[in-house]
Chain A
Amino acid sequence: MSLQAQFMLKNDRSELDYAQLVKKAKSLRPGNGYRLKMALLANVSTQHLVPLLKAIFDGNGVDLEVYEGGFDAIELEAYNAESGLYRFQPQMAVILQSVMKLKASYYDFDGDRGSFSKTQADKAEAVWKAIQARLHVPVIQSTYVLPPERIFGNYGLKAADTLQGAVSEVNRELSLRARAIPSVFMNDVDYIAGWVGRRHFLDEKLWAIAKSFCALEFLPEVAQSIVDIALACIGRAVKCVVLDLDGTLWGGVVGEDGLEGIGLGDLDPGGAFRHFQYYLRELSLRGIILAVCSKNNEATAREVFQKHTEMVLKEEHIAVFVANWQDKATNIKNIREKLNIGFDSMVFLDDNPFERNLVRQMIPGIIVPELPEDPGLYVRALAELNLFETASHSGLDAQRNKFYQDQQKREAEQKQYANIEEYLCSLQTTADFRLFEPGNISRVAQLIQRSNQFNLTTRRHSQADCEAMMADHEHFYPFAIRIQDRYGDFGLINVVILKLHPAEGRIEIDTFIMSCRVLQRGVEQFAMNKIFEFARNGNYKSVAGCYIPTAKNAMVKDFYAQFGFVRDKNSQGTETWWSLDAGQYVPRKVFIREAGLPGAA
């Protein structure tokens, strides 16, 4: 695996060249990247797609192992418990379907054509459910590419029951059903086809010769889309965008041109910047953290946010605001520390090539896209990179910027207290302790996907896994904690999954995850008290846990030692196992009051 390659692919889609990727795939050696087992189920041939997937995954530090289902055997694979699909035990299943096949089904459809889209979606949903009944893994379903023929011409959109309408309806119906199942994801290949041009994308000749999904030239785009979704499913997602100001959010230089002199508003080029700000605000509402990193006097820079009537972004949208005359790499490092996230989940946007290169060189891993000279093309350039793929969404995402702003108020206040205990008392923290339940399960799954640092085992249980645990009281005690203090609500920030072995009187901590927003507040102590309280009430003799090191979770390597767990001498490899008798645990003092909190998780 190569960090450099990751950096290139994420920054620049011109790397997506079919012949180059095929060559690269030939020279791949199984490395020490993240191992991913993926099943490909398709009614097109997948042989040209596989090398591309391998090459692109490799560029992202993932060693891919693929199972290719039989040609046009999606349902056979899904419904047969003995099929190759289930023997392979993939971590995700990708379904790729051609509109050529859909067309044939439409023309040969026996029933009322008005029910065609529903029938097709029923079939797809049944396949998803069959797969997920046997494998708790994400399923990635493709949309159908709109075909060229329009029997009625434009009138086809007015007439009922046309092929053209049916394909759109199938896509719509598939996405509506996918919304209801969190671990089914849509791979919108029709978007890709539309973007590159459907007449170039669809290739009837290659379909006839080789049952190829599309023109080979665009197959890398399809592969990249699958990779984007898969990476989001394994927790690789952009969390923060760091923004330059002058020339990036508005035209000109506020320090020289003055508040009224900068380019922002309806008249071009101001309109382009406003449009870009709308895009950024949508990202913020979606849960992407926005930070500012600008060479400016802070007061001058903030004044634009406070007073300029054409600004779409306000101070409330910016989690961390850094405007000074230090170099940007140092400032971005400081921003990262405040947010407690990895550089590889940060994107830096700056119109100045000098700053972009400096940051690229000084901060390995950070994503620094090229921005076009014309600000009118900023949105398009970023949209083409598809940087903001995600595998989950919860209502609290929109408030993420506020969490970090509250945090900065807390830090300012902390300085007034003589010691940490006094400070923790002053926060008046309350905790809402709950088992997994329908109301919190999507946020639980999201935390499991996103957390890297305070994560003892980094087991990426899917939402379907979590739902199964929720119902299985005999084998699992899974809980989540949400906290708030007098500054604001942190939301659900701690997830613990206990695996129960009642016959042996033993509990295993399968998963212990905490959001880095709440370090050093006693939440982990509160949770550990809860674990041992449960152990004692259930007459369990001991609690065991394991630490699986990753590139990112060194902060918890002494987690169990800190609670008095004893390291098991038989620990093998890099994993370490720890255990503690239930009777020996000394409950930790915490400054957190337990209470039910109103509102959803």
Chain B
Amino acid sequence: MTEAEIKQKLTAIFRSVFDNDSIEISEATTAKDIEGWDSLTHVNLIVAVEKGFKISFTTKEVMALQTAGDLMRLIASRCN
């Protein structure tokens, strides 16, 4: 998958999980930038990403995530 494809698919997942169709994500997007991104929805997000991309993260990887950029790189490392 290309970076753009990953970003597009991930954006759709963000929009679905946070129930907001206007969400745009960037390299620097963090939990503070998105309404409703808390510890509860973070778990929902991770599970939705794993399901959507048919991949699985390790506990350590999930704990280390800080930004949407981190997440996109992690997905890329698994999908490519």
Contact = CB atoms under 8 A, between A and B. Distances in A.
Interface of A: 18-19, 22-23, 26, 47-48, 204-206, 208-210, 212, 215-217
A209 B44 contact: no
B40 interface: yes
A268 B18 CA distance: 52
Contact of B47 (A26, A204, A216): A216
Interface of B: 16-17, 19, 39-40, 43-44, 46-48, 57-59, 62-63
B35 to A, nearest CB: 12
Contacts of A216: 43-44, 47
A215 B46 CA distance: 12
Contact of A205 (B16, B17, B48, B58): B58
Contact of B63 (A18, A209, A212, A215): A209
A210 B19 contact: no
Contacts, number: 35
A209 B63 CA distance: 7
B51 to A, nearest CB: 8
Given A19-B48, A210-B43, A216-B47, A26 B19 contact: yes
Contacts of A206: 43, 47
B53 to A, nearest CB: 15
A22 B44 contact: yes
Given A19-B16, A216-B47, A209 B59 contact: yes
A537 B31 CA distance: 73
A206 B39 CA distance: 12
B48 A209 contact: no
A205 B44 contact: no
Contact of B39 (A19, A204, A205, A210): A210
Nearest to A26: B19
27 contacts: A18-B47, A19-B16, A19-B44, A19-B48, A22-B44, A23-B19, A26-B19, A47-B40, A48-B40, A48-B43, A204-B59, A205-B57, A205-B58, A205-B62, A206-B43, A206-B47, A208-B59, A209-B59, A209-B62, A209-B63, A210-B39, A210-B40, A210-B43, A212-B43, A215-B47, A216-B43, A216-B47
Nearest to A51: B40
Contacts of A205: 57-59, 62
Contacts of A48: 40, 43-44
A18 B58 CA distance: 22
Contacts of B48: 19
Contacts of A215: 47
Nearest to B62: A209
B9 to A, nearest CB: 16
Nearest to A27: B19
Given A209-B43, A212-B43, 19 more contacts: A18-B47, A19-B17, A22-B44, A23-B19, A47-B39, A48-B40, A48-B43, A205-B57, A205-B59, A205-B62, A206-B47, A208-B59, A209-B46, A209-B59, A209-B62, A210-B40, A215-B47, A216-B44, A216-B47
A280 B46 CA distance: 44
B70 to A, nearest CB: 15
The interface centre, meaning the residue of A18, A23, A210 with most chain B CB atoms within 10 A of its CB, is A210
Ranked nearest first, the 3 interchain pairs of A and B with the lowest CB-CB distance are: A208-B59, A210-B43, A205-B59
B77 to A, nearest CB: 17
B31 to A, nearest CB: 14
Nearest to B36: A26
Contacts of B43: 48, 206, 209-210, 212, 216
Nearest to A47: B40
A321 to B, nearest CB: 50
Contacts of B62: 205, 209
Contacts of A23: 19
Contacts of B47: 18, 206, 215-217
Contacts of A26: 19
A219 to B, nearest CB: 10
B63 to A, nearest CB: 7
Nearest to A23: B19
A114 to B, nearest CB: 34
A590 B50 CA distance: 71
A68 B30 CA distance: 28
A32 to B, nearest CB: 25
A406 B29 CA distance: 73
Which residue, B16, B19, B44, has most C-beta atoms of chain A within 10 A? B44
Nearest to B46: A209
Contacts of B58: 205
Nearest to A217: B47
B21 to A, nearest CB: 13
A205 B62 CA distance: 9
B20 to A, nearest CB: 11
Task: Name which of A18, A22, A208, A209 has the most chain B CB atoms within 10 A of its CB.
Answer: A209
A539 B63 CA distance: 73
A206 B47 CA distance: 9
A336 to B, nearest CB: 42
A22 B59 CA distance: 23
Contacts of B39: 47, 210
A210 B40 CA distance: 8
A216 B47 CA distance: 8
A19 B59 CA distance: 22
A201 B17 CA distance: 22
A381 B76 CA distance: 41
A19 B41 CA distance: 11
Contacts of B57: 205
